[in-house]
Structure 1
Amino acid sequence: MPVDQIPIGTFSRITRLSQKALRLYDERGLLVPAARDICTGYRYYTYAQIERGIHIRHLLWLGFDLSEVETILSARERGDAGMIRDHFARRLAAAEQEIGRLHAIAEVLRTQDPLNGGFRMSITEPVIKDIPAMRALSRRERGVYQEAIPGLIGELCAYVSPADGRQPAAKMTGPIMFICHDEEYRETDADIEVAIPITGSVNLEGTAAEVVTLPGGRFASVLYTGPYPGVGKAYERLFAYMGEHGLASAGPSRELYLNDPAEVPEEELLTEVQFPIQDLPPSA
C-alpha cells in the first residue's frame, strides 16, 4: 500500500469522523476517497484529505447541516468569502436564539415552582363573552409556531407603527392576536394567522398583509398571566369549563397578547385565550 494511502479506519481516528459518516460523505461527493481497492471496495484517503475531513467535522460541530457544509466548502474552494460570512452570520443568529431559549429554561428550572409545571402563573375563571365581528390587518402562512408568530407580528407592527417615520398603513384598535387554524398541534407546516384589529382607511401598498373580517359570536375566555410556554394551562382550564357546561368549539382559537414582552417581565405577560363556542346537542 502506498505511503500516502490511509485506510478508512485510520482516517476515521484522525478526523474523528465515523466510518459510517465517511461512507455517507463519499456517496454525497463531499469527501471522496482518493483510492478504492478493486477487489474489496475498501476506501483509502490521502494526507491532503485530512484537512477537509477536519473542516467537515468542525462545521458540523458548529451546527451546520450537511447541505450547508457542502455549500461552505464549495465557497471556500472558490474563494467566495461573502457567501461563507452569510452562512456564519445566519448560524450565529440561530445559536444566539437557542442560547436565549436555554437561558429561559435555566431560569425556570432555577426559580419556579416545579409542582405547577415550572411556571409562575395565574388563570382567571372562564367567562362567556359576546364579541362582535371586527376588521383586522392579517398575515397568514404555514410554518413553525415559534418562528412564524414572532415574524408575522413584526411584519404587522411595521405596518401600523413604522419605525422609519412613514405613514402607518392602518390605525390599530385592539391587541395583536394569534389565530390557530389547525385542529392538532403541528411541529412544522402549521396554519398560522396573526391579526391586528384596525379602523379607518388602509394603505397596503408594498405589503403582504390583507384586510379581513374576523367573525364574531359567543366566546369562552380566560386571562392567563405568566410566561408564554405555560399558556397551555389556560387551554386546559377552558376545555374543562366547556366540558362542564356542555359547550363545543365552533372555530379557531385565538390568543390575544395584552402587553409587550419587551416591556414587562415574563411572569407579568398577559394573554387572553378565546374559543368560539356553541351548545352541544342534547344526548339521545
Structure 2
Amino acid sequence: MPVDQIPIGTFSRITHLSQKALRLYDERGLLVPAARDICTGYRYYTFAQVERGIRIRHLLWLGFGLSEVEAILEARERGDAGTIREHFARRLAETEREIGRLHAIAEVLRTQDPLNGGFRMSITEPVIKDIPATRALSRRERGVYQEAIPRMIGEICAYVYPADGRQPAAKVTGPIMFICHDEEYRETDADIEVALPIAGSVNLDGTAIGVVTLPAGRFASVLHTGPYPGVGKAYERLFAYMNEHRLVPAGPSRELYLNDPAEVPEDELLTEVQFPVEDLPLSP
C-alpha cells in the first residue's frame, strides 16, 4: 500500500467521521476515496483529504445539513465568500431562535406548576364580542412564528415611535396583534400578519408597512395571563366554549398583546385571543 494511502478505518479515527458516514459521503460525492481496492472494494484516502474530512465534521457540528455542507464546500472551492456568509447567517438565526426556545423551556421547568402543564397562568371565561371594522398598519409575510412576529412588531413600533424622539407617525387606537391566516400550524412558511390599529393619515413612503382594514365580525374572546408559550391553553378553552355553544371559526384568529414583555414579568403578560365565529348550521 502506498505511503500516502490511508485505510478507511485510520481515516475515520483521524477525522472523527464514522465509516458508515464516510461510505455515505462517498455515495453522495462529498468525500470520494482517492483509491479503492479492486478485489475487496476497500476504500483508501490521502493525507490531502484529511482537511476536507475535518471541515465536513466541523460544519456538521455547527448544525448544517449535508446539502448545506455540499453547497458551502462548493462555494469555498469557487472562492464565493458571499454564499458562505449567507449560509452562516441563516444558521446563526436558526441557532438564536433555538436558544430562545430553550431558555423559555428552562424557565418553565424552573418555575413550573404541575397542575397547569408547567405554566403559571390564568384564563378568563370566554365571551362573545361584536368588533367593528378596524383600520390598521400591517406587515404580512411568510416565515417562522418565533422569528417573524417579534421582528415585525419591532418594525411597526419603530415606524410609529421614531427613536430620534420625533412625534409618533400615527395615532394608535388599539393594541398590536398577530393574525394567523393559515388553517393549520406551520413550522415554516407560515402566513403571518402583524397589525396595529390607527386613526388619521400616515406617510408610508420608504417602508414595507401597509394600511389595511381588518374586517368587522362576531368574535369569541378569552384573556390569557401568563407566559406566551402557555397561550395554547387559551385556545383550548376557547374551542371548548365554541363547541359547547355550537359555534365554528369564520376566519383568521387574532392574538392581541395588551402589555409589553420588556416592561412586565412573564407571569403578568396579557394576551387576548379572538376567533371570528358563526353559528353551526342546523342539520337537515
Question: Match for residue 26 of structure 2?
Answer: 26
1:41-74 Cα distance to aligned partner (Å, 9 max, x none): 4321012322321222122112233344345545
1:151 deviation in Å? 2.3
Match of 1:48?
A: 48
SS at match of 1:31: coil
Q: 1:171 — aligned with what?
A: 171
Contact 1:169–1:204 (8 Å) recurs in 2: no
Segment of structure 1 superposing worse, 38-47 or 89-98: 89-98
| 83-92 or 229-238, larger mean C-alpha shift | 83-92
TM-score calculated relative to the size of structure 2: 0.88
Q: Which amino acid aligns with 2:50?
A: I
Alignment partner, residue 275 of structure 2: 275
Correspondence for 2:187: 187
Which stretch of structure 1 is more off in the superposition, 254-263 or 73-82? 73-82
Structure 1 residues 214 and 94, CA gap change in structure 2 (3 angstroms):
same
Q: Distance in 1 between matches of 2:165 and 2:32?
A: 55
How far off its partner does 1:164 sit? 4.3
> Equivalences for 1:141-220 in 2 at 5 Å?
141-165=141-165, 168-220=168-220
Distance 1:279 1:71, change over 3 A: closer
Indicate the residue corresponding to 1:62 in structure 2.
62
Q: Give, in whole Å, the separation in 2 of the partners of 1:169 and 1:9.
A: 66
Specify whether residues 88 and 250 from structure 1 end up closer, same or farther in structure 2 by C-alpha distance, changes over 3 A only.
Answer: closer
For structure 2, which runs of at least 5 residues remain unmatched after alignment? none
CA spacing shift, 1:261–1:24, aligned 2, 3 Å: same
- The reply on whether 1:35 has 2:35 as its aligned counterpart is yes
* Of 148-157 and 189-198, the range deviating more from structure 2: 148-157
Contact persistence 1:252–1:275 (CA under 8 A):
yes
Tell me the secondary structure at the aligned position of residue 221 of structure 2.
strand
| 1:86–1:182 distance in 2 versus 1, CA, 3 Å | closer
Q: Name the Cα RMSD after superposition.
A: 2.6
Stretch of structure 1 that moved more, 218-227 or 166-175: 166-175
> Over residues 186-231 of structure 1, what are the superposed CA-to-partner deviations in whole Å (9 max), with x where a residue is unaligned?
2222221111111111211112222111011211111000111111
Letter paired with 2:188? T
**2:135 counterpart residue number:** 135
Counterpart residue identity of residue 127, structure 2: V
Structure 1 pair 117/14, CA: closer, same or farther in 2 (3 Å)? Answer: same
Count of equivalent residues: 284
CA distance in 1, matches of 2:57, 2:249: 51
The percentage of aligned residue pairs carrying the same residue is 88
AA in 1 matched with 2:129: K
Where in structure 2 are the equivalents of 1:184-263 lying within 5 Å?
184-263=184-263
* Cα distance in structure 1, aligned partners of 2:85 and 2:67: 16
| Deviates further, 221-230 or 95-104 | 95-104
Shift of 1:249: 1.6
TM-score (norm: length of structure 1): 0.88
